[in-house]
Amino acid sequence: MVKLKDAYKKAQEILKENGIEDCKADAFFLIQGLFKADRADLLTDKEIDFKVLEDALNRRIKGEPCAYITGETEFMSLPFKVDKNVLIPRQDTENLVEFLISTAKGDESILDLCTGSGCIGISLRKYIKNSSVTMVDISQGAIEKAKENAELNKAEVTIIKDDVLNPLHRYGQYDILVSNPPYIEKEVIKTLESQVKDFEPHLALEGGEDGLVFYRKIAKDFKKHIIKGGRCAFEIGFNQGEAVKKILDDNGFKNTEIIKDYNNNDRIVTGVL
C-alpha cells in the first residue's frame, strides 16, 4: 500500500519517462477512475494498492486510452461506461448536444443513429424536458453498453439494433434526427494516432472511401422519418462541412448551416425539412 499523493506523483513520473505528454492529467484520470478518488483525497493520507495503478500505467504506456482502462468517462456532466465496443465520448460531440438543447422546445421526439455508447441520445433525454429518444446501432456490443448507460443515468430511452445503411426496422416520425456517424476516410484510418486506430472500434470510425457514406444514406433514406419542420443534425470531420451541407441541400433540407466547435473547426451541419 502507498499513500495516494505519493502514488499520484510516482504515476506522473512513470508516464513522463515513457513519453506520455499529458502525464499529469492521465495520472489523475486513472487514479480517479480506479480508486474513486477526488483531488481532495490527494491531500490526505489515504492509501491505495499501487500494483493496481501500476498495471493501469503499463496499459496506458502501450497506448490504451485512459477511459478504456478505467471503463468510464464523463460527457455533458453525466457518467458513461465505455469499452472497446464503443468510441470514447469526446468534448467535440458536446457541441452537437448543446446545439440541439439550445434549439429544442421541450417535448421533441429524437432519433439518434449510430449511437455507440449512447452519449448523445441519453444526454438529450436528460436535458430536453419531456423528450422521447430512440437510439440505433448495428453493434451488439454498443447496444449493450448503451443500455447500461441508459440505466446508469436513469434515462428512459428506446434502443434498437439495426444497420443504418440497410435498415430493417420500421421507424416512425421524429422531430429531430441526430447522428455522429463513422466519418473518417478509409485510407486515413491507418494514419491516426495509436490510441485511436489500435484500440477504438473501426466499425465506428470508417465512413467509406471519402468518409461520406453514412451522411448520404441517412439524408436520403431517413428524411422520410423527419416531420415537416423537423431538424437533422450531424457531427462532421473538420474538413467535411461543405460536402455534408451539399448532401443536405441536395436532399431537400432548408436553412442548412455549418456550425463551428470551441476550437473554431467545422463540427456540425444541420438543416430543416
Q: Which residues lie closer than 8 Å to 62 by C-beta, 6 or more apart? A: none
Q: Distance between CA atoms of 200 and 92, rounded to whole angstroms? A: 17
| pLDDT averaged over every residue in the chain | 95
Cβ(164)–Cβ(193) under 8 Å?
Answer: no
Q: Residue 206's pLDDT band (boundaries 50, 70, 90)?
A: confident
| Overall average pLDDT of the 234-248 stretch | 97
**Rounded Cα gap, residues 3 and 252, in angstroms:** 62
- Per-residue pLDDT, 193: 83
Which of 30-39, 125-134, 217-226 bottoms out in mean pLDDT, i.e. has the lowest? Answer: 30-39
- Domain positions in the chain are 2-62, 84-272
**Count of C-beta atoms within a 10 Å radius of residue 232:** 25
Instruction: Say which CATH superfamily domain 84-272 falls into.
Output: Vaccinia Virus protein VP39 (3.40.50.150)
Question: Do 142 and 204 contact (CB within 8 A), yes or no?
Answer: yes
| Mean pLDDT value across residues 56-79 | 97
Q: DSSP character for 205?
A: T
- Start-to-end CA distance of the chain, whole Å, equals 61
pLDDT at 171 over 90: yes
Which residues are bridge partners to 112 per DSSP?
135, 178
109-113 vs 132-137, strand pairing mode: parallel
pLDDT for 221: 96
The residue type of 228 is: K
pLDDT in tens, 88-114: 999 999 999 999 999 999 999 999 999
Containing 229, the helix (H) or strand (E) segment is strand 226-235
Phi, psi values for residue 191, rounded to 5°: -95, -5
Quick count: other Cβ atoms within 10 Å of Cβ 17?
A: 10
